[in-house]
A and B are shown apart, each in its own frame.
Chain A
Amino acid sequence: MSFIKTQDTTEQLVADTDMKLTVALLGNPNTGKSTLFSALAGIPTRIANYPGVTVEEKLGQFHHRAHTIKLIDLPGAYSLNAKSPDEQVAVDVLHGNLTGIEQPDCIVVVVDATNLSRNLYLVSQALAIGKPVLVALTLCDVAESKGIHINREKLSEFLGCPVLRLVAPRREGIDHLAETLIESSDWSGQTIPESLTSRLATCSDSDRPVASAEAIARYGWIDEITKDVLSYSVQQSRSLGDHIDSVLTHRVFGTVVFALTMLSIFSSIFWLASPLMDLISGGVEFAAGLAESIMPDGILQSLVIDGIIAGVGGVIIFLPQIAILFLFVAVLEGCGYLARAAFLMDRLLVGVGLSGKSFIPLLSSFACAIPGIMAARTIENRRDRLLTILVAPLMSCSARLPVYLLLCSAFVPNVAVGNSWIRLPAVVLASMYLVGILVAAMVAFILSRTIFRGPPQPFVLELPSWRWPQVAVVVERVREAAVSFLKNAGTLILAVSIVVWALGSFPRPVLEAGVNPESAEQQGEALRQSFLGQAGRLIEPVVKPLGWDWRIGCAAVASFPAREVVLGVLGVIYNLGDVDPGEEDGAGMLIRQLRAATWDGTDRKVFTLPVALSIMVFFALCAQCASTLVIIGKETASWFWPLVSFAYMTALAWIGAFFVFQIGTALGW
């Protein structure tokens, strides 16, 4: 028996027997479905959407003997009475109702051997679809070490389908599974076992709703099965996992560990990433230098250096932070801590109208709102999910950080707070994060008590048993996040950079004789006359109450498609040419330029502490990210909600910036 994962010559030799088979992987969350997917098909060839804690179905393909097997990894589901978008996707695929995905020929139900009873519930529903069903028992090694024994022959007899033993990380049983899948094409349709149909037949007479009566009937059937197939070799005693749990979900210790964990994740996003960011920054600089030396001066060179390299370079610098965040999220998810985090945080989030399940999407949004909004799919409830999506972009994402860092280091006096070791710029930086969190809490609180008012919503959360995260799964999560982020940088942000560059470069000014077009004054004048400059001056009355001159307004307007372009735009506007945010010298120069900037025709400085704070608050609250709005549109399947997000965030940003500037000025900061 051979197991060939890649194209091989043997395929051509036996091409006449070649067969295509589509197989769906179905299972409860936390059953090791992703591990099995990687063991079978490696890296998915196509992911239908952005990463998050949950992904829409993943597609992969592998070859076994001469056969091509297409694999669909469905989102985790507890039941086929869909109650969440994730479960709905699973149901739609299984019935062939999802356009673009063919109905699977065979269903592999991944069953956690340590948790047989509840996992069999989904099996009982899968048997009714009519396609051949194959039960893959995963985590058998863990179950055996816990003294749980499953009689597979008997189980297979009860279910009327094959039951295979798998230890996916060690690839045990993988070949056998592939072989059985090939054989399954010869089977006639799956039938529901007589023992189950007879139980279900009585449900219509029950005085409960049919769905409830059926759930009870299914568990009755499962209890009958498990009584016969399950045996325990050792007395079930408190396991190591129970001891870990009693600490980590403890009222006091659990909270302390939780706070420390989150704190260290945050610190590492900022500190661990910085050497890598410097490296990328060096690479961007090198590319710009290279372009400058090999391209002739002129409009094309300007497009490449000022538009493309500066724009995209300023964005890919965040790749290390995104990768590190996803590394931690994947590790915490893999070992089972994320669910505990939702458990610990639920009461607090319920207070503002959200739920414990909002915690992970909101936490992810600190790196980038896009994966955060995607992760909101794990929330079954439509109301909680919408609310989470609406407030997620208020979490300060990593693209806001360079703005905060620049303005904090340039305009916030670097003095100690009181007599402590805490410096004032650090306090301001932390306050910007706090502003986002507090406003999000306020918005969620108000919305949940007005337009989203409704009956209390269910919160049913499995706390999976503790286990070591699978390296392959963790790597895959990080890779997924990185790839989709880069894809975004390569398309939308590239386009925006070119548009902003064009708006800032045209119409080209008419040069008087003897004027050096490269001089700072001339570049500033060119910008002033460009479309971007005209727009900036047009909106000056709107931004003046915020303490801004037309140049800041210009930078803010140019950053609506993607806020990370703002430093580049500020650099151009304040006669610098582009500034790489990661480059210390460049930032230093930009800081000096900003400090020196004056209002047109006066000596009055543009940037004061209240102005810097007002810009930061504006950036903290404003919906300056086209990709986020596009994702909100996709996830809510409407254009209404992205418009709502855009409108309310922009309004709050203006109001917040207005009050900060006016109060700051009145207090004489």
Chain B
Amino acid sequence: MRSLATLNIGSTTHVVDISGEDNTSLRLLEMGLTPGVEVTVVSTAPLGDPVELELRGYRLSIRRNEAARVVVAN
């Protein structure tokens, strides 16, 4: 299993799970990063963090340490 933070720009995959049980994990789920959803890494900010994602037809930005909680399919 790998995390979303390890993906290169332009790659598309599926969310498998969100690790952690705190508010950050809940907010990621509430923004639609639920198991099974398709997600694409669109770009990263100038200093490499945060990352820009596309999912459910919209753009979302999260930090790398949050992306590390998103377990994705290989």
Contacts and interface: CB of A to CB of B under 8 A. Distances in A.
Interface of A: 78-79, 81, 83, 114-118, 121, 148, 208-209, 211-212, 215-216, 219-220, 223, 245-246, 249-252, 254-255, 339, 342-344, 346-348, 350, 356, 380, 456-465
B32 A219 contact: yes
Interface in B56-74: 56-63, 65-66
Interface in B9-65: 18, 21, 23-32, 34-37, 42-50, 52, 56-63, 65
Nearest to A466: B59
Given A212-B29, A458-B23, 8 more contacts: A79-B30, A81-B30, A115-B58, A118-B56, A343-B45, A460-B28, A464-B58, A464-B59
A219 B34 contact: yes
Contact of A249 (B43, B48, B56, B65): B43
B35 to A, nearest CB: 7
Contacts of B61: 339, 342-343, 346, 459-463
A347 B48 contact: yes
Contacts of A219: 29, 32, 34, 37
B30 A356 contact: no
Interface residues of B, number: 36
Contacts, number: 128
A90 to B, nearest CB: 14
Nearest to B34: A219
A251 B44 contact: yes
A125 to B, nearest CB: 10
A460 B43 contact: no
Nearest to A461: B61
B47 to A, nearest CB: 4
B47 A347 contact: yes
Nearest to A460: B27
B15 to A, nearest CB: 11
A655 to B, nearest CB: 32
**In the complex, which of the residues A81, A219, A245 has the most CB atoms of chain B within 10 Å of its own CB atom?**
A219
B21 A208 contact: yes
A81 B27 CA distance: 9
A290 to B, nearest CB: 55
B10 to A, nearest CB: 11
Nearest to B64: A347
Contacts of A209: 21, 26
B59 A121 contact: no
B29 A465 contact: no
A445 B18 CA distance: 30
A343 B31 CA distance: 17
14 contacts: A115-B56, A118-B56, A209-B26, A212-B18, A216-B34, A216-B35, A251-B45, A343-B52, A347-B45, A348-B47, A350-B49, A459-B50, A462-B59, A462-B60
Contacts of A344: 45-46
Contacts of A121: 30, 32
A356 B46 contact: no
B58 A459 contact: no
Given A81-B26, A208-B21, A344-B45, A114 B57 contact: yes
B45 A249 contact: yes
Nearest to A351: B47
A348 B25 CA distance: 24
Given A245-B42, A255-B46, A343-B50, A118 B59 contact: no
